[in-house]
Chains A and B, each alone.
Chain A
Amino acid sequence: MNPLIRSTAAELAAKIASREVSAVEVAQAHLDRIGEVDGAVNAFLHVDTEGALKAARKVDDDLAAGAHVGPLAGVPIALKDVLTTEGVPTTVGSKMLEGWVPPYDATVTRRLKEAGVVILGKTNMDEFAMGSSTENSAYGPTRNPWDLDRIPGGSGGGSAAALAAFQAPLSIGTDTGGSIRQPGAVTGTVGVKPTYGGVSRYGLVAFSSSLDQAGPCARTVLDAALLHEVIAGYDPMDSTSINAPVPPVVAAAREGASGDLSGVRVGVVTQFSGEGYQPGVLRSFEAAVAQLKQLGAEVVEVSCPSFDYALPAYYLIAPSEASSNLARFDAMRYGIRVGDDSTRSAEEVMSLTREAGFGPEVKRRIMIGTYALSSGYYDAYYGSAQKVRTLISRDFEAAFATVDVLVSPTTPTTAFPLGERTGDPMAMYKADLCTIPANLAGNAAMSLPSGLSDEDGLPVGLQIMAPALQDHRMYRVAAAYEVARDAALGAPVIQGVPQLAGAR
């Protein structure tokens, strides 16, 4: 194994900038690793070897010419296949877009390229980001590097697994109900859902427009912060993008790493424990809270009663928006086309294409959403769900009036076995119980490892939530906790990932 692949993004960036290693060497090391282990992990749907090496060469050339480069120049990244990439296939994990090559970059993609970040390829995901296990991908499930028979979380299982398998030091996820944080939790990696509007959604193939948010994934808090600052910021192409300075997350991560949290008020959400929570997860969480206290934080319990209704509200709002967002996949302009044999009408071709192109979970959600928006049901379903959303926002507001950040387990259990919940949608949906409120309210939230569950040895995630545009608060707390946790455990949690079979 090339030791470069175990480096953090910050370390790689420094080595590349000082020309200790070339960006091409770094890219090649990761491409080699992908070649070695992705047959087992299936984190990637598309590897862009040529594009990656070309981008790396450009960084090396710029450095050779003495040009100023960004803080992550030359560092490789894996991009969730929900973000468009000009000239590189984008499938959103669906048969519907098999073979589609977008003619434009998502704003996130463009910013990465402009920053000299080297895009290795596109990662696997639940179809249209609908799922919590990546088993809904039309291209086969991604496996969890901690245990290849277990799920890597979802929908961004590919982006999280790529980090845990050391295929990339950085990745991009998108989080509609927990699709960055829950995979982060079950793979022992860091995943951040920035404030809604903090990162442009232009070019992010929409699942649920009012909830979707792209964010950074990494193996350390500082790496996530560095990536956050590259992709965040106002974008006139996205009307819901916030026209305000990017929260100072890198500075906050560096400040937090000093290990002092005195004066920081931390609220423990009382709703997220009890029945349905794996005891080992709760024990890991309690240890994390104790650690925060030791760092000087003031810890109090906070009740957010409306959070109990977050899951049902989410499963009305997200499918409703999805039913409309996914209407455009009609075989007319792009994607697959089924049944166009010159005997059928456009309507029949649309219908056959959608029948063949969408998987069962996508169809389920389109049907739920279509129903929830129907006249006569709108008020009872979509309307009520929007009211719950308002109540959840108020709970957050009330909580943040007394505490700086809120904490909870990221997900009720550790990684479950592949296939365990595929026949039981409700069980699958519960994986997002703790993450959904932040999407509904639009505030910032992240997950970082709190160690391993004592009963199964699998990673557990600590969720930290902050008010909108206060993303830096959670980075500070996370960075402080990360240092203390590594000291207590003797090594970063991610070092515990087993050697992958087939890897040299």
Chain B
Amino acid sequence: MTSVHELMDYAEVIERFDPVLGLEVHVELHTNTKMFCGCANVFGGEPNTQVCPTCLGMPGALPTLNGKAVESAIRIGLALNCEIAEWCRFARKNYFYPDMPKNFQTSQYDEPIAFNGYLDVTLDDGSLFRVEIERAHMEEDTGKSLHVGGSTGRIHGAEHSLLDYNRAGVPLIEIVTKTIEGTGERAPEVARAYVTALRDLLKALDVSDVRMDQGSLRCDANVSLMAKDATEFGTRTETKNVNSLRSVERAVRFEMTRQAALLASGGTITQETRHFDESTGGTSSGRTKETAEDYRYFPEPDLVPIAPSREWVEELRGTLPELPWERRKRVQDEWSLTDAELRDLVNAGAVDLVAATVDAGATHTEARSWWVSYLTKEANSRGVELSELAITPAQIARVIGLVNAGELTNKLAREVVTGVLEGEGEPEAVIEARGLKVVSDDSALEKAVDEALAAQPDVAAKIRDGKVAAAGAIVGAVMKATKGQADAKRVRELIIARCS
């Protein structure tokens, strides 16, 4: 199913419209057990192996609240500068869907556990943008439907569907922003920066795996446009299936250009759910919300109200770790980084990795040069997060140590790292197996130097005339001849000695 959309040039969109955003992020908590039962909460088990009467919604089964999930919700609320409810309840959101065992979702409705907060997010140029938080509330995840036989993997056109209830009842926190206005052309960037900041925050709190690719962090992006002379918000669409940080940015940008083109041609925006397509970068219409679904919310009678004591809330406030922005500030001060250097470090998602490499003995300059440039490129080409690369900060620190000791050249060091990334073992094992030793035997080097000088007599003459800078060409030739396994510094010394 492909659909072709008229898109407006982005600059023109910004000239004619103000974008308005609303972001809803669902976070799966990595508690040991599910929200309302004792089933294990782990990703990727055999279908329907992590289930019990409660999370299957069997007759007579009842929910009991996971205290750890409440604790995580409060800590998230506090980190988002929210107020924590003194008394709140769960409600039932009633609708029929086969992957929802009870045909209602136990969720918080008008009484969220945390509300009225904000998150300051850093944009690419280092400036801060404050995103206000409406609420963070607790709810349970649904099971998963696998639609078999259709072309799109969606229910439409499928021959049959399989249901996996392992995910049913996994604790979720839904974090909803207030309306985000005033971003102008930076709307897509703000959206991405917000989800990035939220992800880093949740990781620091150690409450979730925050893996967008596995669905433990999911973002729904509400986008609408206001014509420059308008006084009311436009109709919004809600884009789902946005499974990476980059996709958040792309999806918002796409919706802006699609809606703008539609509005400019006299069309109207349909309030609907749209699906983001990773391969095309576009969105397509999902179910239309012409008549708003009536969820018939009412307080969940099977659970008692939650009344977190103020003492407990303060105790939890005391357990908040150093938050990502605080950590960044401290790192910048400690390492005397420029704003640009810090930004590169943060954008690469390398703060913790560099810090760990420094802890393992490297200098921050050395560590940054590895993580922010070389390893970031490696991660991109492999399509994984930097932190998912199969190499540890301690291993990088050891490689740096070997370079400093003259046992590896930078080029060789990169090869060692590649070997580690390829799963060839510890750096030392890679060096051994690949024979990546620096050639420090002067007689072998002298032979190579002599050959290089003989091959380029004009350069040799210049060096003999005292133009030492010309030695670079000979160093290059020697390095090439020794397949990079020579110590460039020693080669240079030998050249100068030969020509003097």
List B contacts of A327 (CB < 8 A): 94, 96, 102-104
Interface string of A321-347 (1 = CB under 8 A from B): 101100111101110000000100011
User: Which chain A residues in 227-272 approach chain B with CB under 8 Å?
Assistant: 236-240
Q: A328-B57, A333-B57, A346-B98 are in contact. Are A201 and B62 (CB under 8 A)?
A: yes
B58 within 8 A of A: yes
Quick one: which of B65, B94, B298 has the most chain A CB within 10 A? B298
Q: A324-B296, A328-B103 are in contact. Are A239 and B61 (CB under 8 A)?
A: no
Q: A84-B59, A204-B60, A328-B59 are in contact. Are A382 and B298 (CB under 8 A)?
A: yes
B34 within 8 A of A: no
B64's partner among A236, A320, A375 (CB-CB below 8 A) is A236
Contact present for B96 and A375 (CB under 8 Å)? no
Count A-side interface residues using an 8 Å CB cutoff: 45
Q: Which of B299-307, B333-341, B488-496 contacts A (4 or more CB under 8 A)?
A: B299-307
Q: A84-B59, A92-B59, A106-B60 are in contact. Are A240 and B296 (CB under 8 A)?
A: no
List A contacts of B294 (CB < 8 A): 374-375
Q: How far is the CA of A332 from the CA of B58 in the complex (A)?
A: 11
- Interface band, chain B: 20 to 34
Q: How far is the CA of A327 from the CA of B101 in the complex (A)?
A: 9
List A contacts of B53 (CB < 8 A): 103-104
- A90 → B minimal CB distance (Å): 7
Q: Which residue of B is nearest A212, CB measured?
A: B301
User: Which chain B residues in 143-171 approach chain A with CB under 8 Å?
Assistant: 160-161, 163
Q: How far is the CA of A126 from the CA of B94 in the complex (A)?
A: 25
Q: How far is the CA of A350 from the CA of B58 in the complex (A)?
A: 16
Contact present for A330 and B96 (CB under 8 Å)? yes
List B contacts of A84 (CB < 8 A): 59-60
Contact present for B64 and A206 (CB under 8 Å)? no
Contact present for A102 and B65 (CB under 8 Å)? no
Contact present for B92 and A324 (CB under 8 Å)? yes
- A396 → B minimal CB distance (Å): 19
B401 within 8 A of A: no
Q: How far is the CA of A330 from the CA of B163 in the complex (A)?
A: 14
B298's partner among A92, A206, A236, A378 (CB-CB below 8 A) is A378
Contact present for B60 and A239 (CB under 8 Å)? no
Interface string of A87-107 (1 = CB under 8 A from B): 000101000010010111010
User: Which chain B residues in 83-137 approach chain A with CB under 8 Å?
Assistant: 92, 94, 96, 98, 101-104
Q: How far is the CA of A321 from the CA of B296 in the complex (A)?
A: 11
A102's partner among B58, B103, B297, B302 (CB-CB below 8 A) is B58
Q: Which residue of A is nearest B59, CB measured?
A: A205
- A83 → B minimal CB distance (Å): 7
User: Which chain B residues in 48-74 approach chain A with CB under 8 Å?
Assistant: 53, 56-65
B58's partner among A209, A333, A378 (CB-CB below 8 A) is A333
- A92 → B minimal CB distance (Å): 7
Contact present for B161 and A240 (CB under 8 Å)? no
Q: How far is the CA of A373 from the CA of B104 in the complex (A)?
A: 13
List A contacts of B163 (CB < 8 A): 332
List A contacts of B161 (CB < 8 A): 346
Q: A239-B302, A346-B98, A370-B296 are in contact. Are A333 and B62 (CB under 8 A)?
A: no
User: Which chain B residues in 278-309 approach chain A with CB under 8 Å?
Assistant: 294, 296-298, 301-304
Q: How far is the CA of A440 from the CA of B202 in the complex (A)?
A: 43
A206's partner among B60, B94, B96, B98 (CB-CB below 8 A) is B60
Contact present for A239 and B62 (CB under 8 Å)? yes
- B54 → A minimal CB distance (Å): 9
User: Which chain A residues in 346-366 approach chain B with CB under 8 Å?
Assistant: 346-347, 350
A203 within 8 A of B: yes
A202 within 8 A of B: yes
List A contacts of B94 (CB < 8 A): 323-324, 327, 373
Q: Which residue of A is nearest B37, CB measured?
A: A237
Interface string of B298-333 (1 = CB under 8 A from A): 100111100000000000000000000000000000
Q: Which residue of A is nearest B64, CB measured?
A: A239
A303 within 8 A of B: no
Q: How far is the CA of A375 from the CA of B109 in the complex (A)?
A: 14
List B contacts of A334 (CB < 8 A): 58-59
- A294 → B minimal CB distance (Å): 43
Contact present for B301 and A97 (CB under 8 Å)? no
Q: How far is the CA of A321 from the CA of B301 in the complex (A)?
A: 8
List B contacts of A350 (CB < 8 A): 96, 98
Quick one: which of A84, A97, A332, A378 has the most chain B CB within 10 A? A332
A278 within 8 A of B: no
Q: A209-B301, A373-B296 are in contact. Are A97 and B104 (CB under 8 A)?
A: no
List B contacts of A210 (CB < 8 A): 301
Q: Which residue of B is nearest A373, CB measured?
A: B296
Q: Which residue of A is nearest B163, CB measured?
A: A332
Quick one: which of B56, B98, B296 has the most chain A CB within 10 A? B296
Contact present for B60 and A202 (CB under 8 Å)? yes
Q: A236-B64, A330-B98, A346-B161 are in contact. Are A374 and B58 (CB under 8 A)?
A: no
- A41 → B minimal CB distance (Å): 26
- A357 → B minimal CB distance (Å): 13
Q: How far is the CA of A327 from the CA of B96 in the complex (A)?
A: 8
- A442 → B minimal CB distance (Å): 11
- B357 → A minimal CB distance (Å): 47
Q: How far is the CA of A225 from the CA of B103 in the complex (A)?
A: 38
- A316 → B minimal CB distance (Å): 11
List B contacts of A90 (CB < 8 A): 59
List B contacts of A375 (CB < 8 A): 294, 296
List A contacts of B160 (CB < 8 A): 342
User: Which chain B residues in 12-62 approach chain A with CB under 8 Å?
Assistant: 53, 56-62
- B156 → A minimal CB distance (Å): 10
Contact present for A333 and B298 (CB under 8 Å)? no
- A452 → B minimal CB distance (Å): 37
List B contacts of A328 (CB < 8 A): 57-59, 101-103
Q: How far is the CA of A323 from the CA of B63 in the complex (A)?
A: 18
B60's partner among A102, A373, A382 (CB-CB below 8 A) is A102
Q: A103-B53, A240-B304, A327-B96 are in contact. Are A205 and B102 (CB under 8 A)?
A: no
Interface string of B441-463 (1 = CB under 8 A from A): 00000000000000000000000
List A contacts of B59 (CB < 8 A): 84, 90, 92, 97, 100, 102, 205-206, 328-329, 334
Q: A103-B53, A239-B304, A347-B96 are in contact. Are A324 and B62 (CB under 8 A)?
A: no
Q: A103-B53, A328-B101 are in contact. Are A202 and B62 (CB under 8 A)?
A: yes
List A contacts of B302 (CB < 8 A): 206, 209, 239-240
- B4 → A minimal CB distance (Å): 29
- B139 → A minimal CB distance (Å): 16
Contact present for B296 and A202 (CB under 8 Å)? no
Contact present for B101 and A333 (CB under 8 Å)? yes
Interface string of B240-277 (1 = CB under 8 A from A): 00000000000000000000000000000000000000
Quick one: which of A104, A346, A347, A370 has the most chain B CB within 10 A? A346
List B contacts of A238 (CB < 8 A): 62, 64
- B39 → A minimal CB distance (Å): 14
- A298 → B minimal CB distance (Å): 37
Q: How far is the CA of A378 from the CA of B296 in the complex (A)?
A: 8
Q: How far is the CA of A237 from the CA of B61 in the complex (A)?
A: 9
- A195 → B minimal CB distance (Å): 15
Q: How far is the CA of A254 from the CA of B101 in the complex (A)?
A: 47
- Given A201-B62, A333-B58, 12 more contacts at CB 8 Å? A103-B53, A206-B302, A239-B302, A240-B301, A324-B104, A324-B298, A327-B96, A334-B59, A370-B296, A374-B294, A374-B296, A375-B294
**Residues of A bordering B, CB below 8 Å:** 83-84, 90, 92, 97, 100, 102-104, 106, 201-206, 208-210, 236-240, 320-321, 323-324, 327-330, 332-334, 342, 346-347, 350, 370, 373-375, 378, 382
Task: Please list 13 pairs of residues, one from A and one from B, whose beta carbons are closer than 8 Å in the complex, sorted by A's number.
Answer: A103-B58, A104-B53, A237-B62, A239-B62, A240-B304, A321-B298, A327-B103, A328-B101, A329-B59, A333-B56, A334-B58, A373-B296, A382-B298
The 4 closest A-B pairs by CB, nearest first: A327-B103, A373-B296, A209-B301, A210-B301
